[in-house]
Structure 1
Amino acid sequence: MKRIALFGGSFDPVHTDHVNIIKSCKDKLHFDEVWVVPAYVNPFKNLSTSSVTQRLEMLKLALKDLDFAKIDTYEISKQTSSFTYDSVKYFKSKYPEFEFSFIMGSDQLDNFEKWDNFQQLIKEINFKVFLRTKDFNQTIVDKYNLETFEFENNHLSSTKIRNLENLNLQIKEVNDYVNNNLMYLLERVESKMDEKRYFHSLNVGQMAMELARLNNVDLNKAQIAGTLHDVAKHWSEQDMRKCLELNNKDLLNEPTPVWHSFVGAYHLKNDWLFSDKEIIDSIFKHTVGSTDMTTLDMIVFCADKISAERNYEGVENLRALVKSDLELGFKELLKNQYEVAIQKHSIDSIGKSLIETYNFWIKGDK
């Protein structure tokens, strides 16, 4: 009789420890197959922060090399909160020729007796408990004579992953998918970004996409770069200083108000593990530009200054100019920024980078 391990969860997102548990089911527990059963909504959690489609796509990426693991969409297809008891009854009824066990993490033991129809459930199926931490509810294990197993444990959690912790241990393809789809954005920036800045960032992402469409640039890259351009805007000066000291001390000589562009780029590269250099570079340059501006760089620079909520005098004319001729619009915005900076701070205080950018693009010092 074929032995099947049922592995349920939100998988929001799936991570390395989920995969290691699945591998252990095959290698150590000798199951023939592992059926991964993503929940539509976990009964013990709030609404998922990602779509069903996204969670399924991430699971496909994570399991692509495991031919013994398959994704079953039974719970998702119900489009409602699912209980393990109902799923177990369904699988046993539909596949009476198979022997099923249910996989769970030791972190679920504290609520185990609260599961729906628990007394019937515990009689319906064997549970295999994988030890997520050293401390777990031994009382429940003993009470129900549960089997426990160790595995290659990185002590990850989906919550930690969503909050940028331990990304170096995450599945690279899944992390890239999360970054390229701007997933978990609010969770990742809300502690250091106020509501006004958040909606400005969303607007810049939308404007960047519009400009990308007009200039035959990758729309997704433009949206990502525009949306994340101010990711470090509300960092404390102390935190930004630490970042620049670690990555490029020379940038400390630039005016403090433009530090966030450099810090944001390093933050995305080092903490989000963004691997797209074009996106990182455009965020790095979005405040003061550079002598080497790609089309994407110009798009993000301009989108920041003409986004939908901007209402300063002359912004409508600048929007029209940028949309009709990106480089000409970029030069006009750069010229305005340079003149305003000198008026506010004097030429000795506006920083080397802005002067170099201005001299190259406006004065023609090439």
Structure 2
Amino acid sequence: MVKVGILGGTFDPPHYGHLIIAQEVLTALQLDEIWFMPTNVPPHKENAKTKGEERIEMVKRAIDDNPNFFLQTIEFERSGPSYTYETIGLLQKRYPKAEFYFIIGADMVEYLPNWQHIEELVRQVQFVGVKRPSFKVKSNYPIIEVEVPQFEISSSQLRDRFKNKQNTKYFLPDLVKQYIEEKNLYGAK
């Protein structure tokens, strides 16, 4: 059985916070792989600021140098909101020899009671909660908690930094930063 961590998100753009979370969970739980899974249409957030293919390319560039990190684009195979319950069902059919660990931030742990089909979902996948500032990993659902060094940057902060011509060095991988600047994403030049 292959132990696979899934880190979903809009990744608009992906940054070192995402990579730190993925590596810490991989190491702490002795997983074999982490799959970065960009959402097509996020059900709990506003839509992404960039096109799906741009976010996919940024994730590819962000994880390029880690042999345990992979891109999973299953949520782009269907239209409409990307509900985790449906996605996990598809992944289990496609990869029956994989045991899935779904990685979420503490902010999402608090929101779990609102997830579609959460009772069935917690039987299908092991949730992994990572700490975030101002949130606690407390839930009535079975969650493995992983301590992760705090890296206080968000994708929305990075978009603002690009838009306002502020420093973005050391916040995200150089290959991602180069792509953003080449494509003039988020107002970058």
- Aligned pair count? 184
Q: Please report how far the alpha carbon of residue 132 of structure 1 lies from its aligned counterpart in structure 2 after TM superposition.
A: 2.1
- What residue is the counterpart of 1:256 in the other structure? none
Question: Alpha-carbon deviations, 1:21-49, whole Å to 9, x = none?
Answer: 12123222210011111110111122211
d(CA) in 1 for partners of 2:178 and 2:44?
Answer: 28
Moved over 6 A (4+): none
> Which structure shows the bigger proportion of residues in helix conformation?
1
CA contact (8 A) 2:122 2:142 kept: no
2:33 and 2:13 mapped to 1: Cα distance?
22
3-state DSSP class of the match of 2:104?
Answer: strand
Q: RMSD of the alignment, in Å?
A: 1.8
Q: Would you say 1:150 and 2:152 are equivalent positions?
A: no
Whether the 8 Å contact between 1:36 and 1:71 is mirrored in structure 2 is yes
Match of 1:176?
178
Instruction: Letter of the 1:99 partner, please give it.
Output: E
Q: Tell me, in whole angstroms, the C-alpha distance in 2 between the residues paired with 1:150 and 1:17.
A: 13
Counterpart amino acid of residue 64 in structure 1: D
Cα offsets for 1:183-214 (capped at 9, x unmatched): 122xx8xxxxxxxxxxxxxxxxxxxxxxxxxx
Matched, 1:106 2:106: yes
When the two structures are superposed, what TM-score results if normalisation uses the length of structure 2? Answer: 0.89
The 5 Å alignment of 1:25-174 reads 25-133=25-133, 135-140=134-139, 143-164=140-161, 167-168=168-169, 169-174=171-176
Larger Rg: 1
Q: In structure 1, how many angstroms separate the alpha carbons of the residues matched to 2:119 and 2:141?
A: 11
Matches within 5 A, 1:221-236: 224=189
The whole-number CA distance in structure 2 between the counterparts of 1:138 and 1:127 is 11
- The whole-number CA distance in structure 2 between the counterparts of 1:4 and 1:37 is 12
Secondary structure class of the residue paired with 1:78: coil
Asked whether the 8 Å contact 1:39–1:75 carries over to 2, the reply is yes
Per-residue CA deviations over 1:270-290 (Å, capped at 9, x if unaligned) read xxxxxxxxxxxxxxxxxxxxx
Distance, in Å, in 1 between the alignment partners of 2:59 and 2:75 is: 15
CA contact (8 A) 2:28 2:146 kept: no
Identify the structure with bigger relative contact order (alpha carbons < 8 Å, sequence gap 6+): 2
Q: 1:10 is aligned with what amino acid?
A: T
Shift of 1:166: 6.8
Structure (1 or 2) with the greater strand fraction: 2
Partner Cα separation in structure 2 for residue 25 and residue 147 of structure 1: 10
Gaps spanning 5+ residues in structure 1: where?
A: 189-223, 225-366
Whole-angstrom distance in 1 between the partners of 2:88 and 2:54: 25
Between the aligned partners of 2:20 and 2:181, the Cα distance in structure 1 is: 23
Q: CA deviation at 1:121?
A: 1.1
Distance (whole Å) between structure 2 residues aligned to residue 83 and residue 11 of structure 1: 16
3-state SS of 1:100 partner: strand
Residue 289 of structure 1 aligns with which residue? none
Deviations 1:144-197 (A, max 9, x none): 242211223311111111111772322222122212211122xx8xxxxxxxxx
CA offsets 1:311-353 (integer angstroms, 9 cap, x no match): xxxxxxxxxxxxxxxxxxxxxxxxxxxxxxxxxxxxxxxxxxx
